[in-house]
Amino acid sequence: MPSDLERAMETLIIVFHRYASKASGNPSTLNRKELKMLMETELSSFLKSQKDPAAVDRIMRDLDSNGDGEVNFEEFVSLVVGLSIACEQLYQFKQRQQAGGVKKQ
Amino acid sequence: MPSDLERAMETLIIVFHRYASKASGNPSTLNRKELKMLMETELSSFLKSQKDPAAVDRIMRDLDSNGDGEVNFEEFVSLVVGLSIACEQLYQFKQRQQAGGVKKQ
């Protein structure tokens, strides 16, 4: 039986390919429309405060490190990493706050 | 309710902290003993072929980019990313094989 961590890695691959194969075009990369769908559905709690309609274009440009107009798995993972690191910093802050190391605002 | 992707990111944080707080020392980083425990328990399917007793030390050295002898969350995530990218390449190869694009060995 896979461990929690192995299942989490499998989820990254499954979620990426679920959206990469939605629209026509390359079924192994996310185009703008697929990335928008993925972010609206899978990252809604992170992005619900994001009202800027140009946000997806900006994120697409930032992620598309090889500049081909598509986001491949490696580029997608860098988004997941960035969000996870930000969440982990918040988690550590909350832990310190609970332990009394940081005063509540 | 969190999405599959949000849950996967949460799992990365929870699993890291589950092991980081096991031994004495810094509860926000993995020392050698904690990294070994994490890898043996959470990555056993990936590492079962790895019989080299020095493997954990080598991986520890590779991950510890700031050289403090401990693995922090950012350094841990780079291990997860590397393994996920390798798995995704295998997944794509298998998909092409099933579609008849790659001959079976």
- The domains found in chain A, sorted by start residue, are 4-98 (1.10.238.10)
Please report the pLDDT score of residue B42 as a whole number: 93
Band of residue B54 on the pLDDT scale cut at 50, 70, 90: confident
Amino acid at A19: Y
Closest partner residue to A73 (CB to CB) among B7, B43, B88 is B88
Tokens describing residue A45: 């709690």
Q: pLDDT higher for B103 or B37?
A: B37
Eight-class DSSP state of A30: B
Eight-class DSSP state of A67: -
Chain B residues in contact with A83 (beta carbon < 8 A): 9
**Is pLDDT of B12 > 90?**
yes
Q: What is the mean pLDDT of residues A12-22?
A: 96
Verify whether the Cβ–Cβ distance B12 to A73 is below 8 Å.
Answer: no
Tokens describing residue B34: 């904690």
Q: What is the mean pLDDT of residues A6-18?
A: 96
**Is pLDDT of A95 > 90?**
no
Band of residue B73 on the pLDDT scale cut at 50, 70, 90: very high
Asked if B34 contacts B22 with a C-beta cutoff of 8 angstroms, the reply is yes
Verify whether the Cβ–Cβ distance A73 to B83 is below 8 Å.
Answer: no
Please report the pLDDT score of residue A50 as a whole number: 64
Chain B residues in contact with A28 (beta carbon < 8 A): 92
CB atoms within 10 A of CB A86: 12
